[in-house]
Amino acid sequence: MTTSQPAKSQSETGSAGGAPRPAAPATAGPAPSPASRPAHPKEYYGDDITVTFDLARCLHVGVCLRSVPAVFDLKRRPWVLPDAGDPDQIAQTIRRCPSGALHYEYTDPVRQSEQGHVPVTVRTADGEPLWVEGAVAITDNGIDVPETRAALCRCGSTANSPFCDASGPCTSWRHHPH
């Protein structure tokens, strides 16, 4: 038995003539309340790179917006267009996202996708979260989740434990973003 499917729009394929892909998210921007945040990161599919974005972890430092504005643009929907930039530049930018809200994976399995470095580094400063970089595993509900970057709450005010959500008193980093 065969079924017919409606034709995919350009927004669903990611590019004219591209392979069908899941539809891009309809919203991005200021962080909503934790109760209304999506439970899973959104994926944005490009021909050479897939970008994953976790709104619940985004601290809006803006490295992505300043580094590759053709790819990351909050005024556009979808706000991430992986095919609008060089995949290596996108990967380099994502590796600079201090919260770990952005990740990437090359579509070519020969190319090395994001890997955490060893040894792990943890940066601290008064009024800031714990900035973690490297090959770490964060245990969430008994499941080890591999990570490369994270901003961990150190004030205890977050609604997104163990990650900082900038709801507590430790937000002086916003005046001199990383």
Confidence (pTM): 0.72
Longest CA pairwise span in the chain (Å): 64
Note whether residue 159 is domain-resident: yes
Q: Which residues of the chain have pLDDT under 70?
A: 1-39, 172-178
Note whether residue 158 is domain-resident: yes
What six digits make up the tokens of 139?
């245990």
Q: Report the alpha-carbon angle 76-81-37, nearest 5.
A: 65
Note whether residue 46 is domain-resident: no
Which structural domain, as residue segments, surrounds residue 171?
Answer: 121-175
pLDDT, position 96: 94
Q: pLDDT tens digit string along 129-146?
A: 999 999 999 987 888 889
Note whether residue 131 is domain-resident: yes
* Total domains, the chain: 1
What DSSP line would sit under 66-119, residue for residue?
HH-TTTB-TTSSSSB-GGGS-HHHHHHHHHT-TTS-EEEEESSTTS------SS
Note whether residue 40 is domain-resident: no
Assess contact for 18 and 29: CB atoms under 8 A: no
Note whether residue 91 is domain-resident: no
Query: Cα(158)–Cα(156) distance, rounded to whole angstroms?
Result: 6
Note whether residue 27 is domain-resident: no
94: phi then psi, degrees, rounded to nearest 5: -65, -35
Note whether residue 5 is domain-resident: no
pLDDT, position 27: 35
CA Rg value for the chain? 17
